[in-house]
Amino acid sequence: MTGVDGRRRPGVVRRRVGVIALLALIVAVGGYVPLALLSPLAPAAADVAAYTAPAEASPDLTFPSYGATAVEATGWDDSLTTSGDERPRPIASISKVVTALVVLDERPLDGGDGPTLTFGPAEAALVDAYRAQNGKVAPMAAGQALTERQVLEVMLIESANNYAEVLARWAFGSDQAFVDAARAWLADHDLTSTTLVEPTGLSPQNTSTSTDLIELGRLALADPDVARTVGTATTTVPGIGEISNSNELLGLDGVVGIKTGTLDEAGACLLFAADYTIGGRQVTVVGAMLGGVDHDQLDRDVQALLSSVADRFRTVTLTTRGDAFADYDLPWGDAARAVAAEDASVLVWGDETVEASVETDDVGAAPAGTRVGDVTFTVDGERHVVPLELDTTIGEPGAWWRLTHPDEVL
């Protein structure tokens, strides 16, 4: 309405302004409500917890006080441990392991028994020749015939010196040709601290270090014919009868070989290997002990060393399913943890440092069990990845929270 002067009355104007404002509010609210209720929310980042590495001291190895010793768990690069000196020492009949590997490199058995060797008068005369040197021998008669494998068995199991010489000479034609081949073979296999001047080990000039012998032991175990032979306790050979392994530890404490050695200049020596199952894994330990007074004491010292090696392995629990590595706190009050989705453990040698790094995704509403990242453990250079998942459901925020938190919603 207008007054007599044609102007709008103030009350009418105010009512219309109010109506317009109300309509604007209704329009604004009508637009805000669906936006607030339907707009996606920004995901929340996790708060990563500090990781505490498991700690447990490992026992020391039990080494003898004499000679030179080395031991290693194959496949565990940091496990090689030594005691005593590192100078080349006489290795006595451990030399026969080199002889076997050099001969088989030249004349492989290829899964069979090899050709037949027939002994003549010269070979038969070696029995008395080696007896005169106080060397161990096995019967060898002119006209006797054995396969290459059988000769190898008598050499390695019975440790017969006459059989070592016959095998080397048969494979290479002469003693010097064998020595030249052995020198080349040792160089090819980086056994630079090992010297062989004859095939039996009766010469104190056949020398090696304990660490070189560890590598020799690995090579012996990798050759199926040598590994099978040095692991044989007894066998019967035609014309000889039953022969028994000179390694009295064979079959005890997991010992599977490899070769004894005895010489005045060398003392009692043993290149040994043992198999264990530790933490569900197969572990092979190779060792060499040189310079013992006698084999009875040496064997006791080897057993003590092997026991300490086994004790130095331990299974480290990296995580157990359900262990928390991060927390999620959502703005609307819901919370959840990022937990390990599975158990994880690792077999370690000695004192190993365990490191962990956590990577998480930002999350919003999500059901329990949703994968939200990984925790990566690093042990001795190896990575072990364990997935992380939500331990509980993160629900959607309610309508009232959405309507009353425009800053988080829009």
Q: How far is CA 215 from CA 183, 219, 321, 387, in A?
A: 16, 6, 41, 39
- Could you give the CA distance from residue 82 to residue 288 in angstroms, rounded to a whole number? 9
Question: In this predicted model, which residue has the larger pLDDT, 11 or 101?
Answer: 101
Question: 37: pLDDT confidence band, cut at 50, 70 and 90?
Answer: low
Percent of the chain with pLDDT over 90: 78
DSSP type of residue 44 = B
- For the ranges 12-16, 231-235, 340-344, the lowest mean pLDDT is seen at 12-16
CB 75 within 8 A of CB 180: no
Supply φ then ψ for residue 308, to 5 degrees: -70, -30
- For the ranges 163-167, 297-301, 377-381, the lowest mean pLDDT is seen at 377-381
CB 177 within 8 A of CB 158: no
Please check the confidence at residue 39 and state whether its pLDDT lies above 70: no
Q: Which residues pair with 345 in a beta bridge?
A: 317
In the numeric block, which tokens belong to residue 169? 């000479």
Q: What is the pLDDT of residue 93?
A: 98
255 CB neighbour count, 10 Å cutoff: 22
The predicted model scores a pTM of 0.82
In the numeric block, which tokens belong to residue 42? 């920004």
Q: Which residues pair with 235 in a beta bridge?
A: 243
Q: What is the pLDDT of residue 407?
A: 63
Terminal Cα distance for the chain, rounded: 43
- The pLDDT tens digits of the residues spanning 173-221 come to 999 999 999 999 999 999 999 999 999 999 999 999 999 999 999 999 9
Contacts of 391 (CB under 8 A, 6+ apart): 322, 324, 336, 337, 338, 339, 368
Question: 31: pLDDT confidence band, cut at 50, 70 and 90?
Answer: low
Question: In this predicted model, which residue has the larger pLDDT, 6 or 107?
Answer: 107
Question: In this predicted model, which residue has the larger pLDDT, 30 or 349?
Answer: 349
Burial 339-358 (b: 16+ CB within 10 A, else e): bbbeebbbbbbbebebebeb
Amino acid making up residue 257 = G
Please check the confidence at residue 56 and state whether its pLDDT lies above 80: no
- The pLDDT tens digits of the residues spanning 374-408 come to 999 999 889 999 999 999 999 989 787 777 777 66
Q: What is the DSSP string of 379-409?
A: ETTEEEEEEEEESS-BPPPPHHHHHH-HHHH
Question: 141: pLDDT confidence band, cut at 50, 70 and 90?
Answer: very high
CB 193 within 8 A of CB 209: yes
Please check the confidence at residue 269 and state whether its pLDDT lies above 60: yes
90 CB neighbour count, 10 Å cutoff: 23
Q: What is the pLDDT of residue 57?
A: 74
Please check the confidence at residue 359 and state whether its pLDDT lies above 60: yes
Residue found under tokens 């370690």: 348
Q: What is the pLDDT of residue 22?
A: 43
Question: 15: pLDDT confidence band, cut at 50, 70 and 90?
Answer: low
Please check the confidence at residue 167 and state whether its pLDDT lies above 50: yes
Q: Which of 397, 365, 402 is nearest to 33 (CA)?
A: 402
